[in-house]
Amino acid sequence: MLRLFSTIRKEYRLLFRDKMGLSLLFLMPVILITVMALIQDAPFKDYQELKFDILTVDNDHGRLARYIREGLAHSGQFRVIDTLDGQALTQERAKELVNKGDYKISIIIPHGATGAIVSNANKITNDLSRRMGLPVTAPVKLHDDSLNVVIYFDPAAKKAFKSAIHQALDNFLTQVETDLLIERIQQQLKAKGAPEQDSLNIQLKAIGLQEQTTAADAGPDVISNSVQHNVPAWSIFAMFFIVIPIAGNMIREREDGSLLRMKLIPGSYLAILAGKMLFFVSICVVQFYLMMLVGVYLLPLLGLPRLEMGSLYLPTFVIATCIGLAATAYGILIGTVFKTPNQALNFGAISIVILSAIGGIWIPLEVMPRHMQTIGHLSPLSWGLDAINNIYLRHGGMGSVWKQVGLLLAFAGALLGIAAWAEKRRIN
């Protein structure tokens, strides 16, 4: 026990002797999380959450254009602009404004669009009426006109943005054409002699679409956003940076002889290792909860969403401790294997950046190529982040994180085993 307490006391003195270093250990992660959450807030927003100015040019002056304008305005995703400076927009001006990047998107409704849709609806209605033995009365165009609603995008617009807007407009045009077809069918049935008071309320949406939470427990429905990703992710990243002071302390211990003096105290070397682990794991856990407080209290003051930590506190503490164990063990291995501070600090810092990049800290693993996802799941930072997401977003308990707990403990045990073997070889 003397070795254990002596090690904790020694680590405490070493760390607290460098007040600036201690301050940076806690302050820099706070700045890192705040900056990254602010920077990555926009990319994490779905295009459906944003509102766009959309230039509309109506060359049709029919029902289709009116339906489209009303529908776009009603969707809440678009602000419809059809006049600028008191003048109606023309196709040439809309194209010019979008090309200059003043606006992101413009749609041009061609002349005759309403007539083309009505003619197509009449053609379908006539075909159905003929098959049902009803008189065919609706007029149709003799020649099909090939008409397209033209869309202009800002040349700098991203492909994902174009796809999202394309899908939204395509769904809306389909809805308008369906409404016109139903209207024609209603008129045809009325013409057959249906009572005037018969509203013929035809609704195609027999099957709707409803989103429900997948959590078995009735926990709050937490939306994954920049804060829910960045705060846990960069907290884990900051915890792993504990390797820098650990490795630096271990190399200094060897150089100034304090490790030798610790070993002269009767007892096992395991007590020295345990003392070091206890001290630095405690620092990691304190660091983790400090970062969570930043997400809960500081980031909402900067206009970002509030971090939702759920109500499962024990699994969160367990996984934070396991991440701290893995990070501390990694630091001990680096401090044992490398001989100089330059070797240890360079390798430690760069390797953590690499592990974080492939482990989904910078960007979520889901958006990486498949082969990178496979590699990313080998990173201990990925295991920690998966476990935190299971608790915060999926409302899972200990049963949902046991795999990550096992992996982190096995990782820590393996690194400590390698460190012990390397230390034994050094002594021999």
Alpha helices in 101-212 (DSSP H): 113-131, 159-191
pLDDT above 90: residue 205: no
Q: What is the 3-state secondary structure (H, E, C) of 57-126?
A: EECCCCHHHHHHHHHHHHHCCEEEECEECCEECCHHHHHHHHHCCCCCEEEEECCCHHHHHHHHHHHHHH
| Distance, CA of 244 to CA of 233 (rounded, Å) | 19
pLDDT above 60: residue 199: no
Task: Give the residue among 183, 341, 165 at the shortest CA–CA distance from 247.
Answer: 341
- Dump pLDDT digits (tens) for 318-355: 999 999 999 999 999 988 888 887 778 888 888 888 88
Task: Give the residue among 34, 84, 26, 85 at the shortest CA–CA distance from 54.
Answer: 84
Provide mean pLDDT across the span 242-271.
77
| Distance, CA of 78 to CA of 88 (rounded, Å) | 18
Q: What is the 3-state secondary structure (H, E, C) of 235-256?
A: HHHHHHCCHHHHHHHHHHHHHH
Provide mean pLDDT across the span 219-234.
76
Q: What integer pLDDT is reported at residue 145 of this predicted model?
A: 61
| Distance, CA of 248 to CA of 250 (rounded, Å) | 6
Give the contacts of 162 (CB within 8 A, at least 6 positions apart): 153
Q: Is 379 helix (H, G, I), strand (E, B) or coil?
A: coil
| Distance, CA of 284 to CA of 280 (rounded, Å) | 6
Structural tokens at position 302: 């900067």
Q: What integer pLDDT is reported at residue 49 of this predicted model?
A: 58
Task: Assess contact for 279 and 12: CB atoms under 8 A.
Answer: yes
**134 membership: H or E segment, kind and range:** none
Handedness of CA 317, 319, 322, 326 (dihedral sign): negative
Distance between alpha carbon 254 and the CA centroid of its chain, in Å? 44
User: Phi/psi of residue 217, each to 5°?
Assistant: -80, 150
pTM: 0.65
Q: Indicate the average pLDDT of the chain.
A: 79
Structural tokens at position 52: 């766009």
Query: Worst-scoring range by mean pLDDT, 66-80, 274-288, 290-304, 307-321?
Result: 66-80
pLDDT above 60: residue 44: yes
Q: What integer pLDDT is reported at residue 399 of this predicted model?
A: 84
Structural tokens at position 281: 């794991």
Look-up of token digits 């085993």: 417
Provide mean pLDDT across the span 175-187.
77
Q: What integer pLDDT is reported at residue 319 of this predicted model?
A: 93
Q: What integer pLDDT is reported at residue 384 of this predicted model?
A: 92
pLDDT over 90 percentage in the chain: 11
pLDDT above 80: residue 379: yes
Structural tokens at position 112: 């005759």
Q: What integer pLDDT is reported at residue 216 of this predicted model?
A: 56
pLDDT above 60: residue 203: no
Positions of CATH 3.40.1710 in the chain: 50-204
> Residue 105's pLDDT band (boundaries 50, 70, 90)?
confident
pLDDT over 70 percentage in the chain: 81
pLDDT above 70: residue 219: no
Query: Worst-scoring range by mean pLDDT, 70-79, 191-200, 270-279?
Result: 191-200
Highest mean pLDDT among 7-11, 49-53, 286-290: 286-290
Beta bridge partners of 57: 108
pLDDT above 70: residue 155: yes
50-204: CATH, from 3.40.50, 3.40.1710, 3.30.70, 3.30.9? 3.40.1710
